[in-house]
Amino acid sequence: MSSSMDCLSSKDNKQETTPPPKAAPWWTAETVAVVTGANRGIGHALAARLAEEGLTVVLTARDEARGEAAAAALRARGLRSVRFRRLDVTDPASVAAFAAWVRDELGGLDILVNNAAVSFNEIDTNSVEHAETVLRTNFYGAKMLTEALLPLFRRSAATSRILNISSQLGLLNKVRDPALRRMLMDEASLRERDIERMASRFLAQVADDTWRGQGWPEVWTDYAVSKLALNAYSRLLASRLAVAGRISVNCFCPGFTRTDMTRGWGKRTADEAGRVAAGLALLPPEQLPTGKFFKWSTPHVYSKL
Ligand SMILES: NC(=O)c1ccc[n+]([C@@H]2O[C@H](COP(=O)([O-])OP(=O)(O)OC[C@H]3O[C@@H](n4cnc5c(N)ncnc54)[C@H](OP(=O)(O)O)[C@@H]3O)[C@@H](O)[C@H]2O)c1
């Protein structure tokens, strides 16, 4: 008789096969999660997953009609807790109006997922024609929104968390310039202004067409620099908030995922990536680290960003 048959034939073994009871979730219907760029792709799947888990989800999008339609599609699936609010992460007025709405309408938030991003390259091209928009959206936009929402987090150790959807293309091992790599790894001296100077230096080199051969990441260079900056900022913010408040800050790279950004290429669907991202956003407080970079679901945690 096989061991699996044994399991079925004995009462004790049957008990062994019963999964342990699921721990009660730490969140409630009042827990508020904000997801940027959630009208399509991974952000949309992630917003849907968080709503399925019963949280209040603010689905944001820069385009009113696209955002309304995306939120309506989720509500039509029975996810009644989804609310739409317009938010262009590159527009200071839009960010300020959104923060005021979160404060006045919701009384604060618990989870922020900075997901909105752009890339203009085909899979195997490396144009920097739109570098400024890429940096403005993926790094400065996420940073501006984060700073505007920070005072509105409820700051409970059990709930408050920021998840930045990033990319392994912006990991330090992609940086060829040893001085830049050293600067970003020197956690004791690294400051936000250093990260901003790095971004400005890259954009200046793009403007005078001297960026090649300078040690920047070689794949999707503008996008990679934007994520390099986002990763470094996340790391600094994590230390800042570990002292000053109780908000965790982590990054997640979903890996190569079939969305519009990759022109439909990739190893996994947006739903699969969104599900893993939601799992990270909802980690139980006792398992929630800060200042880490998660890659797919391993979680493969890099100690340095
Ligand atoms: N797909 C991958 O293989 C992959 C791999 C690693 C990391 N990621 C990261 O995963 C995240 C989601 O990417 P995705 O693949 O789902 O991309 P996507 O399908 O292109 O979706 C990007 C989303 O960001 C929004 N967005 C762009 N600019 C915005 C702005 N200024 N303000 C607000 N929203 C804005 C887009 O809105 P519109 O519809 O209005 O354009 C869209 O909703 C990004 O952070 C990306 O870098 C993706």
Residue pLDDT, tens place only, 272-284: 999 999 999 999 9
Question: Who's near 244: CB < 8 A, 6+ residues apart?
Answer: none
Provide mean pLDDT across the span 112-129. Answer: 97
Of all protein residues, whose CA lies closest to atom 25 belonging to ligand 1?
Answer: 37
Provide mean pLDDT across the span 8-37. Answer: 70
Say yes or no: CB of residue 94 within 6 Å of ligand 1.
no
Residues annotated as catalytic are: 223
Q: What's the gap in Å between 20 CA and the centre of ligand 1? A: 37
Rounded CA separation 213/168 (Å): 20
In contact, 277 and 255? CB cutoff 8 Å: no
Model confidence pLDDT, tens digit, residues 237-273: 999 998 766 899 999 999 999 999 999 999 999 999 9
* Start-end of H helices in 53-141: 64-76, 92-101, 131-135
Say yes or no: CB of residue 170 within 6 Å of ligand 1.
no
Question: Who's near 62: CB < 8 A, 6+ residues apart?
Answer: 37, 86, 87, 88, 89, 94, 116
Of all protein residues, whose CA lies closest to atom 36 belonging to ligand 1?
Answer: 37
Say yes or no: CB of residue 160 within 6 Å of ligand 1.
no
Q: What angle do CA 134, 37, 283 make, to 5 degrees?
A: 110
Residue 179 has pLDDT above 50, yes or no: yes
- Ligand 1 pocket test, pick from 66, 115, 121 with the greatest ligand atom count within 8 Å of Cβ, gives 115
Question: Tokens in use for 288?
Answer: 């929630």
Per-residue model confidence (pLDDT) at position 64: 98
Question: Tokens in use for 130?
Answer: 């739109």
List, in order of start, the domains of the chain with CATH numbers: 26-302 (3.40.50.720)
In contact, 174 and 166? CB cutoff 8 Å: no
| Confidence at 16, pLDDT banded by 50, 70, 90 | very low
Per-residue model confidence (pLDDT) at position 159: 81
Of all protein residues, whose CA lies closest to atom 1 belonging to ligand 1?
Answer: 257
In contact, 48 and 38? CB cutoff 8 Å: no
Provide mean pLDDT across the span 74-102. Answer: 98
**CB-CB neighbours of 41 under 10 Å:** 23
- Ligand 1 pocket test, pick from 34, 36, 40 with the greatest ligand atom count within 8 Å of Cβ, gives 40
